[in-house]
Structure 1
Amino acid sequence: MFGDRYGLGWFWHVGMFVGGLIFTAAVVVVAVLLVRYLIVATRAAQLYLDTNSTIPPAAPPSTKPAPRTPKSPPAA
């Protein structure tokens, strides 16, 4: 290993362990920030659409049939 010639091999192991911890923590922090950003951005986009949308919200379908209109007699 690196540093074995001078009897400092344990420095290498400790450094690799600490570096691994820092790298793992950085990956976890980036993942958490990405998920939080996506959640907030999705909520903000939905609020924007709710406030600025010109399309009316979809109404639930009616269960009763539409009323029938009588046909007019043919013109003579």
Structure 2
Amino acid sequence: MFDDRFGFGFGWFWHLGSFIGGLILVAAVVVVAVLLVRYLIVATRAAQFYLDSHDTVRPAAPPAATSTATTPTATKPARTPKTPPPAV
């Protein structure tokens, strides 16, 4: 009678099912959050790699006032396009 949903004395089935359903729902939310964070981390690294590999040559900083020696500036080598595979 007390919290008996179906009138057969099996109210504890309802509690057990609600508990298991809640655990599944919480686990699904945690999995989605972890996947979202992993995606954002990988996407950020990929974007940084893209920017680093497609970066144009930046202008050199002006030499320091106290330094009279000149140092060569490091530039990236020019990229060469990939050659297509030979036709068979």
Write the mapping of 1:1-76 to structure 2, written as runs, cut at 5 A: 1=3, 3-56=5-58, 64-65=64-65
CA distance in 2, matches of 1:14, 1:58: 69
Larger radius of gyration: 1
**Structure 2 vs 1, CA of residues 65 and 58 (structure 1 numbering), >3 Å: closer, same or farther?**
closer
**Structure 2 vs 1, CA of residues 22 and 58 (structure 1 numbering), >3 Å: closer, same or farther?**
farther
**Pairwise CA RMSD of aligned residues?**
2.7
Structure that is richer in helix per residue:
1
CA distance in 2, matches of 1:28, 1:66: 57
**Structure 2 vs 1, CA of residues 52 and 8 (structure 1 numbering), >3 Å: closer, same or farther?**
same
Percent identity between the aligned chains? Answer: 65
Stretches of structure 1 lacking an aligned partner (at least 5 in a row):
68-76
State how many pairs are aligned: 65
Q: Kindly report structure 1 stretches of 4+ aligned residues shifted beyond 6 Å.
A: none
TM-score, normalised on structure 2? 0.62
1:12-60 deviations in whole A, cap 9, x for unaligned? 000000001000100100010000000000000000000112252886x
